[in-house]
Structure 1
Amino acid sequence: MNPDIWTTAADLNKEYTALNLNKSVIDYEKYKLYAIVTSSTQLEGSTLTELETHLLLDEGLTAKGKPLEHHLMVKDNYEAIKAAMRAGDEQRQLSPELLKELNALNMAGTETIVNNALGTVDGRTGTFRLVNAFSEALGYYLDASKIPAAVRVFCDEYNRQMTGTDPMDALRSSFDAHANLVLIHPWQDGNKRTSRLVMNFMQRRADLPLTKVHKEDSKEYLSALRNAKETEDLTVFRTFMVSQHIKTLQNELTTYKQHNTKGSGFSLIF
């Protein structure tokens, strides 16, 4: 593991936190979440841009010619990330119930009811899958019968880790939880979206800046997840995620500084 990249992340965390942007900039929190929602849903196929996300969530305006499902995906993910932030502020523990709650919000408008020989799964309730799952990107996931026990182990382990006080340990733990929940793959849909929410929940709970996985890095994201699955080692995934964290903070700090250059002010345009 490259120690320099973690030192960079720690320094950026301190610089970003010191600015207290949530309180010093009007609606900063809301628009930060809009950016995360835009990228997270784009990773899963949404075609809405960040501007279109703003118009949808602020004004209720839909993007002409774009699928209804993409609009619903964005609205659902926004409700889910707000719930994740509330859970973090309330210092809630990870539990199967919280995971189901976040997934249910994520899938409220786009999921369907699936009937099979093992029973009925209503994806809108966050119910864990009852059948085995496979994806072209990551292959076969954990056997469905093992999901309840695996989720309990997951919650117990990361609740234990969340008792620590070192911020960089907390950041690393949030990345690890993200990967492990994707690989458990508890739901029939929305697994990566919900895993990113759990990462952001843990970051909020630890009073850390939030990490955004950038759409333009989607291939590297899937490659890092695949590496974690195939090697049973999170080193590559951690390095990818801390680079995403650094990219997120550098972008936000650059934008802030560009609009707050010393001596800059407002002048009329003629």
Structure 2
Amino acid sequence: MDISSLIAQYKGLHLEDVIDHDTFNLIAIDHHSTKIEGSTLTEVETQVLIMEGRTPNGKPLEHSLMVKDHHAALLFTLEAARQGKELNIGLIQQINALVMKTTGKIYNTMLGTIDAATGAFRKGNVSAGNTYFPNYDKVERLTAELLKLISNGIKSLHSTEEQLNLSFDAHYRLVSIHPFYDGNGRTSRLLMNFLQTLYNLPLAIVKSENKAAYIEAIIKTKETGDLNCFREFMLKEYTNLLQEGIRQYREMENPPEGKDFNSLF
């Protein structure tokens, strides 16, 4: 089954009508996106934090703050897409500012002090392992060029495959620019979700248990210059997510003996 047919089948289930499905789906995005970045909260702990405001015992407070900030950034991002807000540098910086609202650090550079909680672009060069990102003086230009590329794509792409690829490419390209001191991964995944919401597509989740393969796909794409490396990884994640949602819905309709409905969503 191709991805367009799978999306149609998934959307045809009308999961939005299932009690709390949308809420739990957003919580899953919060959980996996923050866990990739080091949060130790479980998905249940994330759920209790978001829905009841209770921080888990024995876990660093910073991890709970990271999750709450991500949830606020996610809601803002999806609402911006639903309102058709222009995708520009200001919006990307707003998303990053929300991601880093309570955990952003202060960076003192030769060019001045940067507060990572404000969505300000970095003023220094950064690396991750053996990966080096563009010089800081190229960040604003590269980000503006990326957003222009995305905006042109939004207007011209019509097939589901093209729309998905645009969201995956935007995700990869923004994290490769690494415009901020922190929160680049979370902001890039939210940019992907922004575009998926704009196109009325189910939201993608990069599962935290696949973090190693995710990073490997980013590195391989950077080394080869072949976007298909990252696209293939993301399409596999996306396909698995949709198939799992369909399977869970079918189990809800016809629960296996001994399985409780509340464990399905």
Among 139, 147, 152, the residue aligned to 2:144: 152
1:208 match: secondary structure: coil
Q: Tell me how far apart the structure 2 counterparts of residues 134 and 220 of structure 1 sit (CA, whole Å).
A: 19
Is contact 1:95–1:152 with CA below 8 Å preserved after alignment?
yes
Q: TM-score, normalised by structure 1?
A: 0.92
User: Shift in Å at residue 262 of structure 1?
Assistant: 8.5
1:259 match: secondary structure: helix
Alignment of 1:96-245 (within 5 A): 96-136=89-129, 139-163=131-155, 164-245=157-238
Is contact 1:76–1:105 with CA below 8 Å preserved after alignment?
yes
Counterpart residue type for residue 44 of structure 2: L
Counterpart residue type for residue 2 of structure 2: T
Q: Which moved more, 1:195-204 or 1:108-117?
A: 108-117
Name structure 2 gaps, 5 residues minimum: 261-265
- Calculate the aligned-residue CA RMSD, in Å: 1.7
Indicate the residue corresponding to 2:3 in structure 1: 9
Among 7, 11, 15, the residue aligned to 1:21: 15
User: Shift in Å at residue 27 of structure 1?
Assistant: 2.1
Q: TM-score, normalised by structure 2?
A: 0.94
User: Shift in Å at residue 263 of structure 1?
Assistant: 11
User: Shift in Å at residue 25 of structure 1?
Assistant: 1.2
User: Shift in Å at residue 9 of structure 1?
Assistant: 2.1
Is contact 1:83–1:102 with CA below 8 Å preserved after alignment?
yes
Counterpart residue type for residue 144 of structure 1: Y
Cα pair distance change 1:251/1:115, threshold 3 Å: same
Q: Tell me how far apart the structure 2 counterparts of residues 238 and 150 of structure 1 sit (CA, whole Å).
A: 21
Q: Give the total of aligned pairs.
A: 258
Is contact 1:8–1:246 with CA below 8 Å preserved after alignment?
no
Is contact 1:96–1:152 with CA below 8 Å preserved after alignment?
yes
Runs of 4+ in 1 over 3 A off after TM superposition: none
Deviations 1:143-165 (Å, cap 9, x if unpaired)? 10001111110010001101122
Counterpart residue type for residue 84 of structure 1: T
Among 65, 69, 88, the residue aligned to 2:81: 88
